[in-house]
A and B are shown apart, each in its own frame.
Chain A
């Protein structure tokens, strides 16, 4: 899967939880889930669970720890997909 496609899929996953449309519309790899997209921190769990379901991967707590922005999330997704 190309990085662009992964980002597009990640965008569709976070969309229901964002509270800042402007930051979402101009999303880049540097976009922060909490500070920029204003995702409620309890909903970050939903983002992680949705990623697990949509990409059919398992994210352990160590990986989850780093997932504060788009870049880190993509990194974790790509690393997990490579394991398969």
Chain B
């Protein structure tokens, strides 16, 4: 399974005040809050960790059917700016994060070798939804491939898993 999440940094600045009292505590563990506050760019670290949690939540939600708002329970094991894992319950997921001056973008997978099979899609054509979960039908193999879509402000990213 795959999940992705993008944060448009300009829009995030307008929409959210991460310095608001109580904000970090609702989303991040003490360890994650230390990472943020010790970072040379705390704002970027907020959205880096947030996008990992959001991308992983999409997988967790699809695999367990559990819906809820528990960002703090999705625990980031931060290896470096671009990679790490996120764990919740007995699950562990792998993340890769891409950072530019304009956005922070994370992809999460349930098995690490899925990173080699991630394919970007340019349009929503042929993407169908089952119970709100997007997928695409590969016409040659007649197999269903999972799709994850993220959209924030100026940016949209669509990924699928190549068979």
Physical interaction between A and B: yes
Interface residues of A (CB under 8 A from B): 35, 40-46, 48-49, 52, 61, 64-68
Contacts of A67 in B (CB 8 A): 69
Contacts of B23 in A (CB 8 A): 45-46, 49
A66 contacts B16, CB within 8 Å? Answer: no
B50 contacts A48, CB within 8 Å? Answer: no
Complex alpha-carbon distance, A43 and B27, angstroms: 11
* Cβ contacts A to B, 24 pairs, < 8 Å: A40-B15, A40-B16, A40-B152, A42-B15, A42-B16, A43-B16, A45-B23, A45-B26, A45-B27, A46-B16, A46-B20, A48-B26, A49-B21, A49-B22, A52-B22, A61-B26, A64-B26, A64-B69, A65-B68, A65-B69, A65-B73, A66-B68, A67-B69, A68-B67
Asked if B43 is an interface residue, CB under 8 A from chain A, the answer is no
Contacts of A41 in B (CB 8 A): 54, 69
Complex alpha-carbon distance, A35 and B16, angstroms: 19
Contacts of B114 in A (CB 8 A): none
How many residues in B have their beta carbons less than 8 Å from beta carbons of A? 20
Asked if B98 is an interface residue, CB under 8 A from chain A, the answer is no
Complex alpha-carbon distance, A70 and B68, angstroms: 13
Q: Which residue of B lies closest to A40 (CB)?
A: B15
A42 contacts B20, CB within 8 Å? Answer: no
Asked if B12 is an interface residue, CB under 8 A from chain A, the answer is yes
Complex alpha-carbon distance, A53 and B54, angstroms: 26
Asked if B155 is an interface residue, CB under 8 A from chain A, the answer is no
Return the 3 tightest CB-CB contacts between A and B, nearest first.
Answer: A65-B68, A65-B70, A45-B26
Contacts of A43 in B (CB 8 A): 15-16
